[in-house]
Structures are given as C-alpha cells and as structure tokens.
C-alpha cells in the first residue's frame, strides 16, 4: 500500500450527492457491498470515467482532502491497474473541497472539469 499524496476524487450521480447533503455524510453503494468507497487520484479520474461511467450523465466529481477524512483511507492494489485509493467508511462532507460538474462531451468522452457545481435554487 502506498502513501496518499494530493487530493482524492470520486465520481457520483448528482442524486446520490443530494441525498448525502440531506444525511450529512456520503456513502456510495459500494460502501455497503464492498466495504469501501472507490476513489481515484487525479491522473486516474479520466480512465475510470471512460471505463465505468461511459454513457452516463448527471454526474459530479467530488474533490476530497484526505487529511480531513474521518474514515480510514488507503491505497489498495487493483490487479492489472495499479493502486487506487479507497475510503473505508462514510465520507464526511467537510472533507469535500470542491464539487465539479462532470458531464461527458457530445461524443461521450470525459474531460477534467473546469466548472464548479451548484445545486439548483442556490
């Protein structure tokens, strides 16, 4: 397991993030099914998006400060893909430093976002 340096990123549907705001913490479906929340380092975001989120929209990219996490985070080996960060517990919302709009382009490809997301009505 490697040491985590820099920000972590997590891709999520807008609806899941809105539920997290209501609950006061974020828990992905994989926390219940696999025991952790999948994350990426910056250079892993686009390959993950192209592999696992192709054809999806209404997505957000959460930028996370690992030093503020209350749950354990560690780099785990993924066979054939290197090491990826995983959060072993809920994601406390104050560890999220930026929420980015994360929509594919007209050809269905993702690019690192430049626009911060704001919920409607704010």
88 DSSP β-pair partners = 72
Higher pLDDT, 65 or 5: 65
State how far the Cα of 111 lies from the Cα of 20, in Å rounded to an integer.
25
Whole-number pLDDT of residue 121: 52
- For 45: left if phi > 0, alpha if psi spans -120 to 50, otherwise beta; the answer is alpha
Count of Cβ atoms closer than 10 Å to residue 114 Cβ: 7
How many CB atoms sit inside 10 A of residue 89's CB? 16
pLDDT score, position 22:
95
Q: How confident is the model at residue 110 (pLDDT cuts 50, 70, 90)?
A: very high
How far apart CA 75 and CA 1 sit, in angstroms, is 5
Task: Please tell me the predicted confidence (pLDDT) of residue 1.
Answer: 45
CA 32/CA 48 separation, integer angstroms: 20
Q: 20-36, pLDDT tens digit by residue? A: 999 999 999 999 999 99
**Residue 81's pLDDT is what?**
86
- Distance, in Å, from the CA atom of 63 to the CA atom of 7, rounded to the nearest integer, reads 6
Edge-to-edge strand ranges of the sheet holding 8-13: 8-13, 59-64, 96-101
């Amino acid at each position: 397991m490697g040491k985590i340096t820099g920000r972590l990123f997590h891709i999520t549907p807008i609806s899941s993030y809105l539920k997290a705001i209501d609950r006061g913490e974020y828990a992905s479906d994989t926390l219940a099914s696999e025991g952790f929340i999948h994350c990426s380092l910056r250079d892993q975001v686009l390959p993950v998006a192209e592999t696992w989120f192709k054809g999806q929209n209404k997505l957000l990219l959460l930028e996370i400060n690992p030093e503020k996490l209350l749950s354990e985070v560690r780099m785990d080996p993924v066979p054939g893909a290197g090491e990826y960060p995983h959060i072993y517990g809920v994601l406390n919302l104050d560890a999220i430093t930026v929420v980015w709009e994360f929509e594919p382009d007209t050809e269905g490809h993702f690019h690192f976002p430049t626009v911060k997301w704001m919920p409607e009505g704010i």
